[in-house]
Chain A
Amino acid sequence: MWDNLPLFPAQASTLASRTDALLFFLLAVTSFFTVLIFLMILFFAIKYRRSRHPKAVPIEGNNALELIWSFIPLMIALVIFVWGASVYFSYASVPKDSLQIYGVAKQWMWKFQHADGQREINQLHVPVGRNVAVTLISQDVIHSFFVPAFRVKMDVLPNRYRTTWFNATRTGTYHLFCAEYCGTSHSGMIGEVVVMEPGDYERWLTQNGEGSLASSGEKLFRHYGCISCHRADTGQRGPDLAGLYGKQVFLSDGRSLIADENYIRESIVDPKAKIVAGFQAIMPTFQGQVTEDEMTELVAYIKSLKRMPLNVNPDADIPSPEMRRRNPEVQPAPGEPIKVPNR
């Protein structure tokens, strides 16, 4: 609306128009009842004022009326509930074909990582007209990812990935706010979402690429020594990670689950919490060593794994002294040929 007196936010996503439709219905219903009550009170207060109506007529009640004015509001409430639930289902169901973006919220900034490695701080570039999924985690306290123009909000929790999505319908630059109080600069944790035409977005990507998240993740996979146990040859001591994401996993205590980002993350920071059936609990914890940004890259890498890596290049794969110190079994025998199992 007017620049200095905004009475309505920009409508810039598919969810926004659905939310606003429900809003207008609610405004109509509530205005109707507000005006109705106001007018009735005004009317009765004037018509039956003491000077004109000195004797009150006692009326105990009217059961039929009570039922009517309980039933009708209940029905209206149920309509609103169903409509609201329907919009919420849409908000909560992340479409499978979404462009995946990762992000970390921390006091007091937003850090985003695109799949191809582009990093942004307090800015998020997205293409118009495409489903975009944003997977977020906090490095410290609870924050909340809020883009008013998209009518989207999601609390960002520490230690737990959460994903929200949107489909931007108009190019432009829109406010990104942190909407959960998080300390000193809570109101300074402001960013912007830049929605671009697809062509402009592609150009922006190529200008800012660094190497995809998955490839950075692969480097970390080797650097932290994960490959010394999670590999496809005789050195394998850890479960097969190929195709893990979305697969059913059976645990040693009888439970089973579907592997998602949170499972992958937990396995890295708290490996003893869930042991895969048939394996020993020898994996050390990496809590405190892997930063949240690196965790994103590792998760992206593992999600992308189609085949388990082979420990093929001895030079590149020599575990760091740190790894050898922590897990004495991991010693490459000098000169020993590496057996590749028949598959």
Chain B
Amino acid sequence: MNNVDQPREHYLNADYGIKSWLLTTDHKRIGILYLLLITFFFFIGGAFATVIRLELITPAGDLLTSDTYNKMFTMHGIMMVFFFLIPSVPAVLGNFLVPLMVGAKDLAFPKINLLSWYLLLIGGLITLYSIIAGGVDTGWTFYTPFSTTFSNTHVIGAAVGILIAGFSSIFTGLNFIVTIHRMRAPGLTWFRLPLFLWSNYAAAIIMVLGTPVVAVTLVLVALERVLHIGIFNPALGGDPVLFQHMFWFYSHPAVYIMVLPAMGVVSELISVFSRKSVFGYKFVAFASVAIAVFGFLVWGHHMFVAGISVYSALVFSLLSYLVAVPSAVKVFNWTATLYKGSISYRTPMLYAFGFIGLFTMGGLTGLFTAALGIDVHITDTYFVVAHFHYIMVGGTVMAYLGGMHYWWPKITGRMYPEGWARLSALVIFLGFNLTFFPQFVLGYVGMPRRYHAYPPEFQVLNVMSSAGASILAVGYVLPMVYFLWSLRYGKHAGPNPWGATGLEWQTTSPPPTHNFHETPTVTREPYDYEALPEGGFDA
């Protein structure tokens, strides 16, 4: 891999100056703008997590006041869910790769793409203002009537910030759908698309259909706070459970926005580092769409003890089991892809393995929460906290990191240092499990969520969790350091350092502003590794 085809002019040096970045319509630059923005938000959300785990080392609430602690977990949730996880894979990797993978020069609506970034920035700044001006303490779920009538914090600021960020998400989804439908290169039929595109397409459908509902819900909450109308307030004839229905109608599909693109990354990594096509390509593609569709039908499983009828609870529980099947199918297909493959242990593959393991565990604990009889006991406890962190952190964040490592050479033209990267992956994996596995036990023995202080017998498990968090934090800081290091000192990468299929590898690293010197024509099936020479890197 010493034939380094460094392009003279590419999208990074095509233009200089802050205006060329802040007014860019190049999807690749916008992807980098998103990378910077969400990394910033990740740090803020992570800071809150650090404070939470520090407080929970001791049973007494001795580090923070109750009100401050309540703000900590609220703002941790808001920053991580709306400002980090939901944008992460689609807005960073998706924005960068979708046009490249379809063989187009840009997304369908480049100016709207830039607008999306500004909307996330503005929404984030407004939410940050709420945080700095005193914080929000309603939980990221904003349950009424606490959020509409009882909380004395900056609920409206946070709601408006999230609302604006929601429009960012809607426009990104809209852009992806139109691009994938209308801008595929000649010969690129639907079933020749890389699975990363199928997953982002499915996630885009959710973004477009689901986000408006949470938008109008937050508008009603804000109106209720300002004008004291009573839509969700029982004292004025309203219904607090109605809020929960409207909120979860989006927020459940939202978790599939977070995980589907991550699954798309994993499909790419498994195939290139086994040098064969994903087993059961069509099944994996359809499974993504099935998850998106079924994901809209299960929101009530967050409300089994909230006051819905037994009949509703039965329907939601059954549908929740149905949505588990396509996810299981994907895991089996990825595992089967390894069979008779030629497997490399480079860092992206380690992250892919990590995803499969941790997502499997997190997803299987979903079988517990979907079981009505068990959910009565474990809902609103640390069991659920562990369940969703296994999927969102053990799943999405690991896939995101895996994708960042894999596509780093394409984005920057440089390789990351493999030794440090593998070490970080291992540290993250160990730190993660130590942080969150004890929380399953904590949940079943009865520790509720959002508890500032807890009975002393829960301390050992909490200390284990906090110890894990400190290790996990180290694991997250390391990549930021070596990625930055690689920008200056990393080995130069050629157009296809991994010997991968996919149109993004048919252009230079970094790509030119218009992506391809000539519009490519696709004649081969996806992941056609047989036709490629040996992957030009050491396994």
Chain A interface residues (CB < 8 Å from chain B): 3-9, 18-19, 22-23, 26, 29-30, 33-34, 37-38, 40-41, 44-45, 48-51, 53-62, 65-66, 69-70, 73-74, 77-78, 80-81, 83-92, 107, 140-142, 144, 146, 148-149, 151-155, 157-160, 162, 175, 177-188, 190, 270
Which of the candidate stretches B102-110, B143-151, B204-212 sits at the interface with the other chain? B143-151
Option from A26, A41, A144 in Cβ contact (under 8 Å) with B338 = A41
The residues of A that contact B310 with a CB separation of less than 8 Å are: 88-89, 92
Min Cβ gap B35→A in Å is: 30
Shortest Cβ distance from residue B373 to the other chain A in the assembled complex, whole angstroms? 3
CB-defined A-B contacts under 8 Å, sample of 15: A3-B457, A8-B444, A34-B361, A37-B356, A41-B356, A44-B341, A66-B329, A91-B376, A92-B310, A141-B146, A142-B146, A148-B446, A153-B377, A157-B241, A158-B235
Q: Which residues of B contact A184 (CB under 8 A)?
A: 66-67, 70
Q: Are A22 and B364 in contact (CB under 8 A)?
A: no
Q: Are A22 and B307 in contact (CB under 8 A)?
A: no
Given contacts A7-B445, A178-B448, A187-B66, 4 further A-B contacts (CB under 8 A): A26-B371, A56-B340, A58-B529, A152-B377
Is B446 a contact of A175 with CB atoms below 8 Å?
yes
Chain B residues lying within 8 Å of A157, measured Cβ to Cβ, are 234, 240-241, 307
Contact check, A38 vs B445: say whether CB atoms are below 8 A apart.
no
Interface of A is mostly: mixed
| Interface pair A66/B317, CB less than 8 Å apart | no
Say which residue of A45, A57, A66 sits within 8 Å of B340 (CB atoms): A57
A23 touches B340 (CB 8 A): no
Question: Which stretch from B128-136, B179-187, B221-229, B275-283 is at the chain A interface?
Answer: B275-283
What is the bound-complex CA distance between A184 and B307, given in angstroms? 24
The answer to whether A144 and B380 have CB atoms under 8 Å apart is yes
Number of interface residues of B (CB under 8 A): 95
Q: Chain A's nearest CB lies how many Å from the CB of B31? A: 31
- From the candidates A23, A88, A140, name the one contacting B313 in the complex (CB within 8 A): A88
Q: A6-B458, A178-B448 are in contact. Are A83 and B335 (CB under 8 A)?
A: no
Cα(A141)–Cα(B243), bound, Å: 13
Q: Residue B122 at the A interface, CB < 8 A?
A: no
Cβ contact of B380, chosen from A6, A26, A153, A270, cutoff 8 A: A153
**Which residues of A are found within 8 Å of B283, using beta-carbon distances?**
61, 66
**Given the interface contacts A141-B146, A181-B146, A186-B451, does A85 sit within 8 Å of B317 by beta carbon?**
yes
For the complex, is B339 an interface residue (Cβ under 8 Å from A)?
A: yes
Instruction: Tell which of A3, A5, A181 touches B143, judged by Cβ atoms closer than 8 Å.
Output: A181
Interface hit among B19-27, B37-45, B87-95, B342-350: B342-350
Most buried by A among B281, B305, B339: B305
State the Cβ distance, A294 to closest chain B Cβ, in Å: 17
Given the contacts A26-B368, A77-B325, A175 and B150 also touching, CB distance less than 8 Å: no
